[in-house]
Amino acid sequence: RAKKSAPFGLCHISDDGMQEFDRYLAIKSHLRQALEKQELSLSLQPQVNHQGVTTSFEALVRWHSSELGTVSPGDFIPIAEESHIICDIGNWVIDETLKTLKQFIARGFDLCVAINISAKQIVQLDFASSLLARVNYYGIPTQMVMLELTETALVVDIDTVKHTMDQLAKCGFRFSIDDFGTGYSSLAYLKELPISELKIDKIFIDDVSTRSNHNGSPIVDAIIDMARALNVTSIAEGVETPEQVEYLISKGCNRFQGYYFSKPMPVEHWHNTNLSTKTSTNLK
């Protein structure tokens, strides 16, 4: 971890800081070729209802670099977001996700998909028209596509983002606010945006009763209530234990996503899975 700057403007960089900076530069330079070299892939993680039935998937990008090995999205997405590369990666993810969804539909499954959209992507002037063109190209009903935006992405340029969201919502696309509760948003402007879902961040789900702690979480309760007040659904991310599921169901959270049900798995895995069955037999 890089040390804080020393006082009086002197900057001391530790060995750790130097290594971190080297890694940053390495990721930044190799990321440019990741697409051409076909090093990106897609994983899908199920989102389930109270019956444990998969209703949708979240698409999560994966990068296996020939030089750096596997790099997690938590490490390379923020670097991609510093430049236009995030748009190229984002477009690749959209295309690959729609292609996969089309294959699921052809197998007779009625599923939706959630795609993460960065701030830089959503403010592109042609974002709405190009997404619509691609969805039409694949012949996918717009209602099957949920777009995940973080609160931070909303506030970057709220007027542009609202305009694009309104345009897309009119066409049938839905929006989920990702990592909800970790950013800055208020009921006042959330109700102005065409939102369908609040996604409760994992850090709040982590607070919810484990075997040793049955306290629950006032923040989780408040977000579920806020979703209800806004007339949108709630989904919990990072659900890992049956106690969390039980608590969330008792509070009226609508859907769940997390390792308890399934880790994100490569697309090929899902092509060989009967998607109409329960993801987890653990759920009552």
Q: Which of 27, 22, 58 is nearest to 42 (CA)?
A: 58
* Dihedral angle, C-alpha 129, 237, 46, 80, nearest 10 °: 50
72 binds, among Mg ion, ligand C2E, none (CB under 5 to 8 A by kind): ligand C2E
- Contact criterion met (CB below 8 Å) for 159 and 153: no
Give the separation between CA 21 and CA 28, rounded to whole angstroms.
Answer: 10
Give the separation between CA 282 and CA 269, rounded to whole angstroms.
Answer: 20
> Which of these ranges, 13-21, 132-140, 238-246, 269-277, lies near ligand C2E under the rule CB under 6 A?
238-246
Establish if 177 lies at the interface with ligand C2E (CB under 6 A): no
Smallest distance, ligand C2E to C-beta of residue 76, A: 9
- Tokens representing 245 are 């599921």
What are φ and ψ of residue 76, in 5° steps? -95, -25
Establish if 264 lies at the interface with ligand C2E (CB under 6 A): yes
- Tokens representing 149 are 């935006």
Q: Which of 7, 9, 69, 74 binds ligand C2E (CB under 6 A)?
A: 74
Smallest distance, ligand C2E to C-beta of residue 4, A: 26
Residues 5-64 binding ligand C2E (CB under 6 A) are 45, 60-61
Smallest distance, ligand C2E to C-beta of residue 262, A: 9
Give the separation between CA 141 and CA 171, rounded to whole angstroms.
Answer: 10
Q: Which of 46, 52, 90, 181 binds ligand C2E (CB under 6 A)?
A: 90
Residues 216-245 binding Mg ion (CB under 5 A) are 237
In the chain, the amino acid numbered 259 is Y
Establish if 244 lies at the interface with ligand C2E (CB under 6 A): no
**3-state SS, residue 10:** coil
Establish if 151 lies at the interface with Mg ion (CB under 5 A): no
> Which of these ranges, 46-54, 71-79, 186-194, 217-225, lies near ligand C2E under the rule CB under 6 A?
71-79
Footprint of Mg ion (CB under 5 A): 116, 148, 178-179, 237
